[in-house]
Amino acid sequence: MVDIHSHVLPGIDDGSKSMDETVEMIRMARDHGTTILVASPHADTQYAYDAERVDSLLAEARTLAGPGIQLVRGCDFHLMFDNIEAALREPMKYTINQKGYLLMELSDLTIFPNTGVLWRQLEEVGMKIILTHPERNPLLRQRLELVQEWVAEGRYMQVTAQSLLGLFGKKAEDFARQLLDLGLVHFVASDAHDLRGRPPRLDLAFQWICENYSPRLAELLFIEHPAAAVRGDDLDLKDFPPQVREKKRGFWGRLFGT
């Protein structure tokens, strides 16, 4: 699996607190089936994004964690004017593997009326927008039509793996499943911050998608789409989402046709 969103690097945001924890997180991801892990520190009002520092920490983490997993640089990019100006000057500085896909986080307090205009500016210089965890944003949970509009315009949605399992609360869980039902989810990622509360594991959510939707959808959300983002390739959405297999009905469902 390919995890495009994590906070595994130490001391640069609210994720890992030490290099020892970083190494344990990376090994946990690897041991549970992740083969590519994107380290995506915050770039927001609280945490400055230093690409050289991120690269230095990544190099150290690669050496200490050992083989079996590829580590690449990304950024959890908060939508704010200073960030937009910086990204327009250096378009690939903040993107996943410096190939074009940008993880975009919105405020929980307001959605700018000109959000689409700002995104188009980034897109004009080669970026592709992936909106992170819309299911956890209380404003977006009330604006499904806005998510639909953005997807129709060519943006992508990334849901947090733990949201599908109810670990961010019932509202986030329900909205994540609604987005899945409507074919509005393109990626599932861990958004890992630590080893226990928000671990870098995708395997449980992968299995959940297999059981509740289809193995093919799981392959797309956890493997093929995120791998394409790491490479910088366009997503093939011609037949997306794939047809969901009909769930097996129990005795009472067969009896009453429900």
Residue-level pLDDT, tens digit, the chain, 258 residues:
999 999 999 999 999 999 999 999 999 999 999 999 999 999 999 999 999 999 999 999 999 999 999 999 999 999 999 999 999 999 999 999 999 999 999 999 999 999 999 999 999 999 999 999 999 999 999 999 999 999 999 999 999 999 999 999 999 999 999 999 999 999 999 999 999 999 999 999 999 999 999 999 999 999 999 999 999 999 999 999 997 654 443 444 445 444
Q: Is 108 helix (H, G, I), strand (E, B) or coil?
A: coil
Number of Cβ within 10 Å of residue 141's Cβ equals 18
Of all helices (H) and strands (E), which one includes residue 174?
A: helix 170-181
Cα angle 226-178-106, degrees, rounded to a multiple of 5:
60
Q: What burial letters (b/e) apply to 204-213, b meaning 16+ CB within 10 Å?
A: ebbeebeeeb
Domains in the chain (CATH in brackets) are 2-256 (3.20.20.140)
Which two tokens mark 81? 């004017």
HSE-CB for 206 with a 13 A CA cutoff: 19
Q: What is the DSSP letter of 224?
A: I
